[in-house]
Structure 1
Protein backbone atom coordinates (compact mmCIF):
# COMPACT_ATOMS: atom_id res chain seq x y z
CA UNK A 1 0.00 0.00 0.00
CA UNK A 2 1.57 3.33 -1.02
CA UNK A 3 1.68 6.07 1.63
CA UNK A 4 2.59 9.69 0.93
CA UNK A 5 3.46 12.12 3.69
CA UNK A 6 3.51 15.80 2.76
CA UNK A 7 4.09 17.89 5.90
CA UNK A 8 1.91 20.97 6.29
CA UNK A 9 3.11 24.30 7.69
CA UNK A 10 2.35 23.44 11.34
CA UNK A 11 4.11 20.07 11.06
CA UNK A 12 7.16 21.67 9.42
CA UNK A 13 7.33 24.30 12.19
CA UNK A 14 7.14 21.54 14.83
CA UNK A 15 9.92 19.60 13.07
CA UNK A 16 12.09 22.73 12.95
CA UNK A 17 11.65 23.29 16.69
CA UNK A 18 12.20 19.62 17.58
CA UNK A 19 15.41 19.39 15.53
CA UNK A 20 16.75 22.91 16.27
CA UNK A 21 16.53 24.09 12.67
CA UNK A 22 15.88 27.61 11.40
CA UNK A 23 13.06 26.24 9.24
CA UNK A 24 11.77 23.28 7.26
CA UNK A 25 10.64 24.47 3.83
CA UNK A 26 9.23 21.15 2.67
CA UNK A 27 9.11 17.52 3.67
CA UNK A 28 7.75 14.70 1.55
CA UNK A 29 7.99 10.96 2.04
CA UNK A 30 6.84 8.48 -0.59
CA UNK A 31 6.62 5.13 1.15
CA UNK A 32 5.45 1.64 0.29
CA UNK A 33 4.03 -0.52 3.08
CA UNK A 34 4.03 -4.24 2.26
CA UNK A 35 3.78 -7.54 4.10
CA UNK A 36 7.06 -9.21 5.03
CA UNK A 37 7.60 -12.87 5.84
CA UNK A 38 4.56 -14.34 7.56
CA UNK A 39 3.30 -11.60 9.86
CA UNK A 40 5.76 -8.75 9.45
CA UNK A 41 5.54 -5.38 7.72
CA UNK A 42 8.15 -3.76 5.49
CA UNK A 43 8.22 0.00 4.92
CA UNK A 44 10.45 1.32 2.14
CA UNK A 45 10.72 4.46 0.08
CA UNK A 46 12.34 7.88 0.00
CA UNK A 47 12.14 10.98 2.17
CA UNK A 48 13.12 14.41 0.84
CA UNK A 49 13.13 17.75 2.64
CA UNK A 50 14.41 21.29 2.21
CA UNK A 51 15.73 22.75 5.46
CA UNK A 52 17.55 25.83 6.74
CA UNK A 53 20.18 25.30 9.45
CA UNK A 54 22.49 27.66 11.34
CA UNK A 55 26.21 27.49 10.52
CA UNK A 56 28.14 26.24 13.57
CA UNK A 57 30.85 28.86 12.97
CA UNK A 58 29.05 32.02 11.84
CA UNK A 59 25.45 31.21 12.87
CA UNK A 60 24.35 32.34 9.39
CA UNK A 61 21.49 30.40 7.78
CA UNK A 62 22.45 27.59 5.40
CA UNK A 63 20.07 25.93 2.92
CA UNK A 64 20.35 22.14 2.97
CA UNK A 65 18.61 19.14 1.47
CA UNK A 66 17.69 15.94 3.26
CA UNK A 67 17.40 12.96 0.91
CA UNK A 68 17.12 9.61 2.68
CA UNK A 69 16.23 6.08 1.62
CA UNK A 70 13.69 4.69 4.08
CA UNK A 71 13.78 1.00 4.93
CA UNK A 72 12.37 -0.59 8.06
CA UNK A 73 10.94 -3.92 9.18
CA UNK A 74 8.27 -4.39 11.84
CA UNK A 75 7.06 -7.50 13.65
CA UNK A 76 4.06 -7.83 15.95
CA UNK A 77 4.54 -8.56 19.64
CA UNK A 78 4.86 -12.27 20.27
CA UNK A 79 6.07 -13.11 16.77
CA UNK A 80 8.48 -16.04 16.64
CA UNK A 81 10.58 -14.05 14.17
CA UNK A 82 11.10 -11.36 16.82
CA UNK A 83 13.13 -13.69 19.02
CA UNK A 84 16.48 -14.65 17.48
CA UNK A 85 17.75 -18.20 18.07
CA UNK A 86 20.76 -16.87 19.94
CA UNK A 87 18.48 -15.36 22.57
CA UNK A 88 17.70 -18.85 23.86
CA UNK A 89 21.39 -19.24 24.77
CA UNK A 90 21.43 -15.88 26.54
CA UNK A 91 23.49 -14.17 23.86
CA UNK A 92 22.60 -12.04 20.89
CA UNK A 93 25.08 -11.60 18.06
CA UNK A 94 24.78 -8.30 16.22
CA UNK A 95 26.41 -7.41 12.93
CA UNK A 96 27.07 -3.65 12.83
CA UNK A 97 27.32 -3.73 9.04
CA UNK A 98 24.29 -6.00 8.66
CA UNK A 99 20.64 -5.08 8.36
CA UNK A 100 18.79 -3.51 11.28
CA UNK A 101 16.75 -5.82 13.47
CA UNK A 102 12.99 -5.59 12.98
CA UNK A 103 11.14 -3.26 15.34
CA UNK A 104 8.35 -4.67 17.48
CA UNK A 105 4.89 -3.11 17.34
CA UNK A 106 1.70 -3.74 19.26
CA UNK A 107 -1.85 -3.35 18.08
CA UNK A 108 -2.78 -3.13 14.44
CA UNK A 109 -1.14 0.15 13.35
CA UNK A 110 2.36 1.40 12.61
CA UNK A 111 3.13 5.12 12.84
CA UNK A 112 4.87 5.75 9.50
CA UNK A 113 4.97 9.48 10.33
CA UNK A 114 7.21 8.74 13.30
CA UNK A 115 9.35 6.50 11.09
CA UNK A 116 9.65 9.30 8.52
CA UNK A 117 10.76 11.71 11.27
CA UNK A 118 13.44 9.23 12.41
CA UNK A 119 14.90 9.07 8.90
CA UNK A 120 14.55 12.86 8.57
CA UNK A 121 16.67 13.33 11.70
CA UNK A 122 19.29 10.89 10.37
CA UNK A 123 19.66 13.02 7.23
CA UNK A 124 20.33 16.31 9.05
CA UNK A 125 23.97 17.42 9.12
CA UNK A 126 24.80 17.70 12.85
CA UNK A 127 27.60 20.24 12.20
CA UNK A 128 26.54 22.44 9.28
CA UNK A 129 29.27 24.80 8.11
CA UNK A 130 28.87 27.57 5.57
CA UNK A 131 31.28 27.31 2.65
CA UNK A 132 34.46 29.23 3.49
CA UNK A 133 33.65 29.65 7.20
CA UNK A 134 36.52 28.89 9.54
CA UNK A 135 37.36 29.34 13.18
CA UNK A 136 40.16 31.75 14.02
CA UNK A 137 42.64 30.04 16.32
CA UNK A 138 43.94 31.76 19.42
CA UNK A 139 44.10 35.41 20.36
CA UNK A 140 45.42 38.26 18.21
CA UNK A 141 48.88 37.57 16.86
CA UNK A 142 48.05 33.88 16.42
CA UNK A 143 49.37 32.74 19.81
CA UNK A 144 47.27 31.45 22.67
CA UNK A 145 47.71 32.90 26.11
CA UNK A 146 49.11 30.27 28.39
CA UNK A 147 48.40 30.27 32.10
CA UNK A 148 50.60 29.54 35.09
CA UNK A 149 49.81 25.81 35.04
CA UNK A 150 51.20 25.51 31.54
CA UNK A 151 54.35 27.36 32.61
CA UNK A 152 54.82 24.94 35.52
CA UNK A 153 54.47 21.98 33.16
CA UNK A 154 57.06 23.50 30.84
CA UNK A 155 59.46 23.92 33.79
CA UNK A 156 58.95 20.26 34.78
CA UNK A 157 59.58 19.15 31.22
CA UNK A 158 62.90 21.04 31.15
CA UNK A 159 63.99 19.25 34.33
CA UNK A 160 63.40 15.86 32.72
Structure 2
Protein backbone atom coordinates (compact mmCIF):
# COMPACT_ATOMS: atom_id res chain seq x y z
CA UNK A 1 0.00 0.00 0.00
CA UNK A 2 1.33 3.41 -0.94
CA UNK A 3 1.53 5.94 1.86
CA UNK A 4 -0.35 9.17 1.17
CA UNK A 5 1.79 12.29 1.45
CA UNK A 6 1.18 14.49 4.47
CA UNK A 7 -1.18 17.35 3.70
CA UNK A 8 0.08 20.84 4.27
CA UNK A 9 -1.93 23.57 6.02
CA UNK A 10 -2.81 25.09 2.63
CA UNK A 11 -3.41 21.87 0.64
CA UNK A 12 -5.39 22.34 -2.55
CA UNK A 13 -5.60 19.25 -4.73
CA UNK A 14 -6.13 19.37 -8.49
CA UNK A 15 -7.02 16.42 -10.73
CA UNK A 16 -4.61 16.73 -13.66
CA UNK A 17 -6.76 14.50 -15.90
CA UNK A 18 -9.58 17.04 -15.78
CA UNK A 19 -7.58 20.09 -16.83
CA UNK A 20 -8.87 22.18 -19.70
CA UNK A 21 -6.36 22.91 -22.46
CA UNK A 22 -6.35 26.60 -21.52
CA UNK A 23 -5.63 25.72 -17.90
CA UNK A 24 -7.34 26.21 -14.59
CA UNK A 25 -6.98 29.19 -12.25
CA UNK A 26 -6.47 28.35 -8.58
CA UNK A 27 -6.80 30.92 -5.78
CA UNK A 28 -5.72 30.02 -2.26
CA UNK A 29 -6.42 32.31 0.69
CA UNK A 30 -5.39 30.82 4.05
CA UNK A 31 -7.85 31.16 6.92
CA UNK A 32 -6.84 31.83 10.53
CA UNK A 33 -6.32 28.15 11.41
CA UNK A 34 -4.21 27.54 8.30
CA UNK A 35 -2.09 30.65 8.93
CA UNK A 36 -1.52 29.53 12.52
CA UNK A 37 -0.38 26.10 11.29
CA UNK A 38 1.94 27.72 8.73
CA UNK A 39 3.48 29.88 11.45
CA UNK A 40 4.04 26.87 13.68
CA UNK A 41 5.52 24.70 10.89
CA UNK A 42 7.92 27.42 9.74
CA UNK A 43 8.91 28.70 13.19
CA UNK A 44 7.34 32.13 12.69
CA UNK A 45 5.71 34.39 15.27
CA UNK A 46 2.68 34.70 12.99
CA UNK A 47 1.40 34.65 9.44
CA UNK A 48 -1.01 37.54 8.98
CA UNK A 49 -1.82 36.77 5.33
CA UNK A 50 -1.10 33.97 2.86
CA UNK A 51 -2.47 34.05 -0.69
CA UNK A 52 -1.58 32.25 -3.89
CA UNK A 53 -2.83 32.99 -7.40
CA UNK A 54 -1.86 30.09 -9.65
CA UNK A 55 -2.64 28.72 -13.09
CA UNK A 56 -2.41 24.97 -13.69
CA UNK A 57 -2.03 24.03 -17.38
CA UNK A 58 -1.36 20.80 -19.25
CA UNK A 59 2.26 20.54 -20.43
CA UNK A 60 3.41 18.33 -23.29
CA UNK A 61 1.70 14.92 -23.41
CA UNK A 62 1.05 14.18 -19.75
CA UNK A 63 2.80 16.87 -17.71
CA UNK A 64 1.50 19.89 -15.82
CA UNK A 65 2.84 23.43 -15.63
CA UNK A 66 2.04 25.58 -12.57
CA UNK A 67 2.72 29.33 -12.67
CA UNK A 68 1.65 32.31 -10.57
CA UNK A 69 2.57 34.13 -7.36
CA UNK A 70 2.52 33.57 -3.63
CA UNK A 71 2.21 36.54 -1.30
CA UNK A 72 2.30 36.60 2.48
CA UNK A 73 2.72 38.96 5.40
CA UNK A 74 4.66 37.37 8.24
CA UNK A 75 6.17 38.23 11.60
CA UNK A 76 9.43 36.62 12.74
CA UNK A 77 11.63 36.99 15.80
CA UNK A 78 14.75 39.13 15.28
CA UNK A 79 17.89 36.96 15.52
CA UNK A 80 19.58 39.62 17.66
CA UNK A 81 16.89 41.06 19.95
CA UNK A 82 14.06 38.49 19.58
CA UNK A 83 11.70 41.42 18.95
CA UNK A 84 9.05 40.94 16.25
CA UNK A 85 10.08 41.75 12.67
CA UNK A 86 7.37 42.09 10.02
CA UNK A 87 8.04 41.31 6.39
CA UNK A 88 6.23 40.84 3.10
CA UNK A 89 6.88 37.83 0.88
CA UNK A 90 6.18 37.83 -2.84
CA UNK A 91 7.48 34.86 -4.78
CA UNK A 92 6.89 33.89 -8.40
CA UNK A 93 5.81 30.28 -8.77
CA UNK A 94 7.01 28.29 -11.75
CA UNK A 95 7.07 24.49 -11.71
CA UNK A 96 6.73 21.65 -14.15
CA UNK A 97 5.48 18.26 -13.00
CA UNK A 98 5.30 14.96 -14.85
CA UNK A 99 3.96 11.53 -13.86
CA UNK A 100 6.36 9.08 -12.25
CA UNK A 101 8.14 7.03 -14.89
CA UNK A 102 7.70 9.66 -17.60
CA UNK A 103 10.61 9.91 -20.01
CA UNK A 104 10.47 13.69 -19.47
CA UNK A 105 11.58 13.20 -15.84
CA UNK A 106 14.82 11.47 -16.77
CA UNK A 107 18.10 13.18 -17.52
CA UNK A 108 19.37 12.11 -20.90
CA UNK A 109 22.97 10.96 -20.81
CA UNK A 110 24.82 12.12 -23.91
CA UNK A 111 27.78 9.90 -24.82
CA UNK A 112 28.38 8.87 -21.20
CA UNK A 113 28.40 12.46 -19.95
CA UNK A 114 25.83 13.95 -17.66
CA UNK A 115 25.47 17.65 -18.43
CA UNK A 116 23.71 20.11 -16.11
CA UNK A 117 23.14 23.72 -17.02
CA UNK A 118 22.93 25.85 -13.86
CA UNK A 119 21.17 28.61 -15.79
CA UNK A 120 18.91 26.22 -17.71
CA UNK A 121 15.42 25.06 -16.76
CA UNK A 122 14.97 22.78 -13.77
CA UNK A 123 14.17 19.13 -14.27
CA UNK A 124 10.46 18.45 -13.90
CA UNK A 125 9.25 17.17 -10.53
CA UNK A 126 7.18 14.00 -10.50
CA UNK A 127 3.74 13.20 -9.15
CA UNK A 128 1.95 9.93 -8.50
CA UNK A 129 -1.56 9.21 -9.73
CA UNK A 130 -3.80 11.93 -11.12
CA UNK A 131 -3.82 14.40 -8.21
CA UNK A 132 -1.29 17.15 -7.49
CA UNK A 133 -1.31 19.39 -4.42
CA UNK A 134 -0.75 22.92 -5.73
CA UNK A 135 -1.16 24.25 -2.18
CA UNK A 136 1.92 22.28 -1.10
CA UNK A 137 3.77 23.69 -4.11
CA UNK A 138 2.72 27.23 -3.13
CA UNK A 139 3.97 26.56 0.40
CA UNK A 140 7.38 25.50 -0.97
CA UNK A 141 7.74 28.86 -2.73
CA UNK A 142 6.49 30.64 0.43
CA UNK A 143 9.31 28.92 2.33
CA UNK A 144 11.86 30.25 -0.17
CA UNK A 145 10.77 33.80 0.64
CA UNK A 146 11.26 33.52 4.42
CA UNK A 147 14.37 35.36 5.63
CA UNK A 148 16.42 32.79 7.58
CA UNK A 149 18.06 35.55 9.67
CA UNK A 150 15.53 38.34 10.21
CA UNK A 151 17.00 41.41 11.85
CA UNK A 152 15.16 44.40 13.29
CA UNK A 153 16.34 47.70 11.82
CA UNK A 154 19.28 49.01 13.86
CA UNK A 155 19.80 45.76 15.78
CA UNK A 156 23.52 45.13 16.24
CA UNK A 157 25.11 42.03 17.64
CA UNK A 158 27.77 42.85 20.22
CA UNK A 159 31.17 41.31 19.66
CA UNK A 160 32.01 38.60 22.17
CA UNK A 161 34.94 38.69 24.53
CA UNK A 162 38.21 37.68 22.85
CA UNK A 163 39.18 34.11 23.50
CA UNK A 164 42.28 33.56 25.60
CA UNK A 165 45.43 32.62 23.80
CA UNK A 166 46.58 29.01 23.90
CA UNK A 167 47.15 27.74 27.44
CA UNK A 168 50.57 28.59 28.87
CA UNK A 169 51.03 25.09 30.28
CA UNK A 170 50.28 22.20 27.92
CA UNK A 171 47.54 19.91 29.21
CA UNK A 172 47.74 16.13 29.59
CA UNK A 173 46.12 15.50 26.20
CA UNK A 174 48.76 17.62 24.47
CA UNK A 175 51.56 15.78 26.29
CA UNK A 176 50.13 12.40 25.27
CA UNK A 177 49.87 13.46 21.63
CA UNK A 178 53.39 14.91 21.69
CA UNK A 179 54.79 11.60 23.03
CA UNK A 180 52.93 9.63 20.33
CA UNK A 181 54.44 11.93 17.70
CA UNK A 182 57.98 11.27 18.99
CA UNK A 183 57.54 7.48 18.73
CA UNK A 184 56.73 7.54 15.01
Question: Which residue of structure 1 aligns with residue 121 of structure 2?
Answer: 99
CA, structure 1 residues 119+150, in 2 after alignment: closer, same or farther (shift >3 Å)? farther
* Residue in structure 2 matched with residue 116 of structure 1 by the alignment: 138
| Aligned residue among 50, 65, 73 for 1:42 | 65
Shift of 1:66: 0.7
The corresponding residue for 2:27 is: 4
TM-score computed with the length of structure 1 as normaliser: 0.84
The CA deviation at 1:150 is 5.9
* 1:146 and 2:164 aligned: yes
The reply to whether residue 130 of structure 1 matches residue 148 of structure 2 is no
Q: 1:103 to 1:87 in 2, by over 3 A?
A: farther
Question: What is the rounded CA distance, in whole Å, between the counterparts of 1:18 and 1:39 in structure 2?
Answer: 33
Equivalent residue, structure 1, for 2:50: 27
Which structure has the higher relative contact order (CA within 8 Å, separation 6+)? 2
TM-score relative to the length of structure 2: 0.74
Counterpart in 2 of 1:67? 90
Flag structure 1 segments of 5+ consecutive residues without an equivalent: 153-160
Distance (whole Å) between structure 2 residues aligned to residue 150 and residue 55 of structure 1: 36
CA distance in structure 2 between the partners assigned to 1:102 and 1:133 by the alignment: 41
How many residues matched?
A: 147
SS at match of 2:58: strand
Moved more, 93-102 or 22-31: 93-102
The CA RMSD measured in Å over matched residues stands at: 2.0
The 1:73/1:145 distance shift into structure 2, 3 A limit, reads closer
